[in-house]
Amino acid sequence: MKNLKISNTLTKTKELFKPINSKNVTMYACGPTVYDDPHVGNARSLVVFDLLFRILRKVYGDNSVTYVRNITDIDDKIIDIAKDKNLPIDKITKEVTKQFHSACKSLNCLEPTVEPKATEHVDEMIKMTDSLIKKGFAYVNKGHVYFSISSFKNYGKLSNKNLDELKAGSRIEVSSLKKNPLDFVLWKPSEEKDPGWNSPWGRGRPGWHLECSIMSEKYLGKNFDIHGGGLDLVFPHHENEIAQSCCNNSVEKMANYWVHNGFLTMNEEKMSKSLKNIVSINNAVKQYGGQSVRLALLSSHYKQPLDWNDKLLKEQKNTLNKWYNMYEKKSDIKKTPDCFEYLLDDLNTPGYISKLHELYNEAAKGDKDRKKSFNDACHLIGIFNETKEDWEKSKKKPLKISEEFILNKIKQRLEARKNGNFELADKIRKELSNEGVLIEDKKDKTDWKYK
């Protein structure tokens, strides 16, 4: 059996992975909140855990891994955007889920074994909340139910912080209804026009953290192998999942290994809505192709930050153009390439990719065995999923300008308008139009689309 090592946020060390049951290895990764077109920050987590899923399948067998990735389809962000756009909530969640699935397909992510939706598990969430109250871990106050963090001795262990640091360092919701500012909401009342479910505490909806505790337990058990997500989920989301599950289920551990991928920046800036520098997966795919985006996401180690910029994407596209010279259709022989060792060492993708370059060079000299290994190794990390013909065809499509470039131009245009320089603003609009991009000014933002 190959030895897989992974970094465990819970123990802060790289550990040898030992599954609870090697015939059914279990992994849960937090999926998207379906309120807006998914962006490349979400894509990183998606691709990292897809790679881990592929590695586990390679080591333990295709049918010996259960991978659960949820869809959060009830959330305040969804309610807000539905109000903004004056559309029914399920229209938004269905549409965005479709966009998300299309992004997964373009990035060649395998389908998870189960993809449960939060709204389909509200009854279980109500039961768990009720049980936490009865066991003394939660309390009710004016239609709200809060988890009392002082009832759980290991609170803060995952994020490695004491309670004072947590209070100081995070934006926590302040409410006079809470006994302790760090207590978090399990259930909250819904206004009449907002979505809600009947509960013993009145009509309301669950707090966000509850769904992952419920869905992981339902599909993987009270104690399972791996729980993953982006670094931003360590606190409070994962810390709170652990508190709820461990207290309710009387277990020492919820998941044995907690795996987190690093942040994505854009041109060294944090990617955020307010900075207007969020690139959607589907737009990045339109411009560079899904394989280039996937390779870019794997180009640095998953725990490290990754900077997203046009140069990085162009490099990946050039690499793939070259690699396709040695492309062979996927063979049925299930041989594991030697460089798999790199992936087993905490998903060392930069090491693996540099080995791919070496293999390519040897294959290009006419070494047939190396050509075979090179192809096997590319398929193993989920690239070379398009035939050479399809790849060549996509190359011939005119290259659209990148979202990064467009967002920058929109920023410059807004600045020009603010300064009364309407001539420059108009020039930028025309420049974008010549590049095939239409912009539309809305109340407080500028929307754009490829023509």
Cα(341)–Cα(355) distance, integer angstroms: 11
Q: Which stretch binds Zn ion (CB under 5 A): 22-30, 281-289, 317-325, 443-451?
A: 22-30
Sign of the dihedral through C-alpha 38, 39, 42, 48? positive
Measured from the CB of residue 259, what is the shortest distance to Zn ion in angstroms? 13
CA angle 417, 418, 419 (to 5 degrees): 90
Within residues 187-216, the interface with Zn ion by CB under 5 A covers 212
The amino acid present at 27, given as its one-letter code, is M
Measured from the CB of residue 162, what is the shortest distance to Zn ion in angstroms? 24
Measured from the CB of residue 36, what is the shortest distance to Zn ion in angstroms? 18
Nearest CA among 341, 335, 342 for reference residue 376: 335
Measured from the CB of residue 66, what is the shortest distance to Zn ion in angstroms? 17
Q: Which stretch binds Zn ion (CB under 5 A): 30-38, 184-192, 347-355, 363-371?
A: 30-38
Cβ-proximal residues to 132 (8 Å cutoff; 6+ apart), any chain: 138, 145, 147, 186, 244, 247, 248
Cα(136)–Cα(98) distance, integer angstroms: 41
Measured from the CB of residue 363, what is the shortest distance to Zn ion in angstroms? 42
Number of residues that bind Zn ion (CB under 5 A): 2
Cα(425)–Cα(416) distance, integer angstroms: 6
Length of the chain equals 451
Measured from the CB of residue 218, what is the shortest distance to Zn ion in angstroms? 14
264 binds Zn ion (CB under 5 A): no
- Nearer CB in complex with Zn ion: 30/410: 30
- Nearer CB in complex with Zn ion: 8/373: 8
- Nearer CB in complex with Zn ion: 79/212: 212
Within residues 120-159, the interface with Zn ion by CB under 5 A covers none
- Nearer CB in complex with Zn ion: 30/48: 30
Within residues 210-249, the interface with Zn ion by CB under 5 A covers 212
Measured from the CB of residue 397, what is the shortest distance to Zn ion in angstroms? 37
- Nearer CB in complex with Zn ion: 30/128: 30
Per-residue burial over 180-212, b = 16 or more CB atoms within 10 Å of its CB, e = otherwise: eebbbbbbbebeeeebbbebebeebbbbbbbbb
- Nearer CB in complex with Zn ion: 238/370: 238
- Nearer CB in complex with Zn ion: 212/284: 212
- Nearer CB in complex with Zn ion: 138/212: 212
294 within 8 A of 108, measured Cβ to Cβ: yes
Measured from the CB of residue 315, what is the shortest distance to Zn ion in angstroms? 33
What token pair was written down for 352? 């693996």
30 binds Zn ion (CB under 5 A): yes
Tell me the CB-side half-sphere exposure of residue 386, using CA atoms within 13 A: 20
In the complex, which residues of this chain contact Zn ion (CB under 5 A)?
30, 212
